Structure 1
Amino acid sequence: MGGLRATSFSSIFFWCLVFLFLVSSDLVYAYKERGTAESINLNHTYIVQTSSLPPSCVCRNSTTGHTNRKHLKVVHRHGPCSHLDQHKIQVPNLTQILIQDQLRVNWIHSRLAKSLGQDAFQASTTTLPTKWFTGSYVVTVGLGTPKEDLTLVFDTGSDLSWTQCEPCADGCYDQQEPKFNPSSSTSYSNVSCSSVQCSRDIKIDCASSTCVYGVSYSDGSKTRGFLAKERLTLTSSDELDGFLFGCGQHNDGIFGREAGLLGLGRGAESLVSQTAQKYGSFFSYCLPTLCGSTGFLSFGSGGGTSNSLKFTNLGQHADEPSFYYIDIVDISVGGQNLNLPSSLFSSQGSVIDSGTVFTSLPKTAYAALRSAFQQQMSNYLTKSPPAPFDTCYDLSGYNTVYIPKITFLFGNNVNVDIVPEGILVESATEYCLAFVGNSDENRGATFGSYQQQKYEVVYDAAGGRLGFGAGACD
């Protein structure tokens, strides 16, 4: 009987210890969650459920944007809404994207330094295993009469639009749609070498008096062919005759499955400049998240969808007119301004660019952003980061994560809160701060597409304005 009491008492004592351990664990976890919440200002914080990290990649039709018949539908080239066959290409991983990004940023800095009379910026000699094409988002347009539908990457940092053309005498890559056939179109014409449109910036040769163009990109890819004019169909009610473009006969590099590029820069050959009389050098877009639905691209001041548009100044450099320059005043983290010197962003100029993925910042600006972010994320377990990221976290032990808002302060008192999807990026089992620092302090910022997600970004080149409207696409 005594032995039975001893055994029962031991069992009760054991289960009490288990109960206390479980309760104390819950209290510790609850305290950790509560302490995280109480240590920050929730008005300047995103509360994210870790069950949504990473998000489910399922295509959903957006309720805004492309439902307007004047809009072109925008999708991420590797996202679930893309019709490009992902099984026939090698989708770049995060490391490859970062290498490509660095090459593009170096290219932008090199052009800016040259235009300002500074010493040429020496780009990294790092090369990609295969040459990945810049740009993440695609649209489908019509070319020719009758029109042929072509899926093109659109790029605010490039001017000349181009597509692959039959017979591709010098070689073409494998694309999703059939290659454009000039002989099947009644509206096609070549541009002669004597034409003013055969400018020295793009002309590399003449072939039977026809202008031969050549364009190279920051990742080493290039296109070469005949400079031509054709009818461009943007929407069922929007056509442009005599559109100047490159009819590519030799395209070197692995471009993916898209048919070419739609140039939205500020140079003379861009679609924006060619349609200045029709659209007033005014266009806008909304970039969906990689795992989101769809966005839009529209031309003309009547195409906007956002009711919350706020406009800042759009700068310009006469010696390097192709880029769009943005007036960055400061950055805040969790509601606290970093109080950065304005000279950090104005000495060379800061560029907004759809072809760069992750925003790059001057060295001092990035160090201040990183320090403030790390301080407000100090409750979370850090992880060894993959270069060039240096601030990564293991969030697997939390149900809820409190992420400090990162806000860009632009001229004219325009503040843009980066959406949660634009603050952290998944890398294997960790989540990293999705910004990078320039190696050279004197190089300006490049505001990339990852931080532009879900905003309607409005380019009013004629009016010298750049607008942001929140929540324009999913």
Structure 2
Amino acid sequence: MDNHSHALFLFSLLSTYLLFAFGIGAESESYYHVIKLTSLLPSPHCSTPKGSNHHENKKGRLKLDHLYGPCSPFGHRRKPTPRQILSQDQIRVNSLQSRLNPRPHNVEDTKTTTLPAHMGKGNYFFTIGLGTPKSELTVSFDTGSDLNWVQCQPCEGQCYSQQDPIFNPLNSSTYLNISCTSPECSQLPSATANPTLCFSSTCVYTSTYGDGSFSRGYFAHETLTLTPSDVPNFAFGCGESNVGLFNTTAGLIGLGRDALSLVSQTSKEYGKVFSYCLPSTSSSSGGYLKFGSDDATSVKFTRLLTNPKAHSFYFLQMVGISVGGKQLDIAPSTFASPGTLIDSGTTITRLPMSAYIALRSSFREFMSNYTMAPALGPLDTCYDFSQQDMQAPKVVLHFGGDVDVEVAESGIFFLGSQSQACLAFLGNSDASDFAVFGNHQQQTLQVVYDLTSEKVGFGVAGCS
């Protein structure tokens, strides 16, 4: 072999080694994302044409958008900072955890100074029709809540500012207050030993949230329109006293498992089945929310768990995590009790601390060739994306029934700024806290809830 051939041979060996060592060879491409900064930034444009029906998508799906996304008519005016989002998210998680483990939390976890309130109100919105003739109202949804309510005239207490005209029950021919003796009135969470449940024989509700905001008013029946078909006698709260910013939506739709949720109330129409796809940060076309069966041919299902202390919550059996194609050394029992809560209103996924440390260690090892950026609040694994694209390992969450859920590239990082992209996972502060599968990691997935069969399914590229 001459010197020239020998040099080429050595160069070839060196190139092969570098490709393998840094994870960019053909053999390992399936374990990595090449992430561009533009894939994490919000799209500057909404792709919904003006004058089109932007409320309903194909296949009877209701169009779903993020409150601060490009298609939001009101979110940009009050968009919180990344630190505010994280602080508010922690308040929600504390509230969820307290349902099973009542205890005081660290004061630093619950600071609310100058924070916009959206605990319990969800991060995504869609449009419903309410009343006869129907009034179109933009509402948020939340799988961690059950009670449905909207603001109502005459706002005798107080009402917050909302984008749509406030619903006036006097203009609807199908509005009817629910009496105190109705079985539905006794199903309200505020019904237990509450002497103010009735006012002039009319059922009164109060819905309070972990950040101190609330909605209070009359419990009533009305005609609900989700698609071209109507849902008569829909029980909801007609709120005449409402405190909290609520992101200027008209109210909240609860998609929990208890009797008063929209899922339970429409069981005859939709069979206790609903699905959604939460759009990615960079999406200009949004996602969807659908009630009833959906095209689920590529969806894999895992068993739904129930906890008697929080029957309304959706718990799943997480059994492990993989990073860059390698499953981490985490015992499945780490996630066993009471399971992992899948929640549409929590932003950042929470893990038991030992699982988070294993994830963080493996992720940092794969990203060791990149310079780390300062931490963003509790997010302690951050990188500078401003000067280059980055190759990040894929993260896969493993659930019971051999269900593997790959986190989309938009769900791996939470963006503080162009020079601060942080691993979008956190460890729980208390050993008794359960894991939470947040909406940031659910982005672009087709998520199907089948309550009759007690299972939840996941499919890829759900928003397309």
Q: TM-score, normalised by structure 2?
A: 0.88
CA distance in 1, matches of 2:383, 2:139: 36
Quick one: percent identity of the two aligned structures?
45
CA distance in 1, matches of 2:19, 2:422: 20
Alignment of 1:115-134 (within 5 A): 120-125=102-107, 126-128=110-112, 129-134=114-119
Q: Displacement, 1:65?
A: 11
Residue 451 of structure 1: aligned partner: 441
Alignment of 1:322-471 (within 5 A): 322-398=312-388, 400-428=389-417, 429-471=419-461
Alignment of 1:146-157 (within 5 A): 146-157=133-144
CA distance in 2, matches of 1:285, 1:348: 24
Alignment of 1:5-404 (within 5 A): 36-38=22-24, 41-50=28-37, 52-54=39-41, 56-61=43-48, 67-84=57-74, 86-87=76-77, 90-113=78-101, 120-125=102-107, 126-128=110-112, 129-134=114-119, 135-199=122-186, 201-203=189-191, 204=194, 205=196, 206-236=198-228, 238-292=229-283, 293-301=285-293, 304-398=294-388, 400-404=389-393
- The 3 A distance-change label for structure 1 pair 436 and 184 is same
Which blocks of at least 5 consecutive residues in structure 1 are unaligned? 1-30, 114-119
CA distance in 2, matches of 1:178, 1:425: 34
Q: Displacement, 1:256?
A: 1.5
CA distance in 1, matches of 2:320, 2:384: 29
CA distance in 2, matches of 1:67, 1:197: 32
Deviations, residues 140-174 of structure 1 (Å, cap 9, x unaligned)? 00000000000000100000110000001000011
CA distance in 1, matches of 2:55, 2:154: 37
The amino acid across from 2:329 in the alignment is: N
Deviations, residues 365-415 of structure 1 (Å, cap 9, x unaligned)? 1111100100000000011112200000113342x3111000000111010
Provide the aligned C-alpha RMSD in A. Answer: 2.1
8 Å Cα contact 1:106-1:124 kept in structure 2: no
The amino acid across from 1:56 in the alignment is: S
Higher gyration radius (CA):
1
Q: Displacement, 1:320?
A: 1.6
Which blocks of at least 5 consecutive residues in structure 2 are unaligned? 1-16
SS in 1 for 2:310: coil
Q: Displacement, 1:66?
A: 5.0
CA distance in 2, matches of 1:308, 1:179: 41
CA distance in 1, matches of 2:393, 2:41: 18
8 Å Cα contact 1:454-1:471 kept in structure 2: yes
Alignment: residue pair count:
431
8 Å Cα contact 1:364-1:441 kept in structure 2: no
Residue 12 of structure 1: aligned partner: none
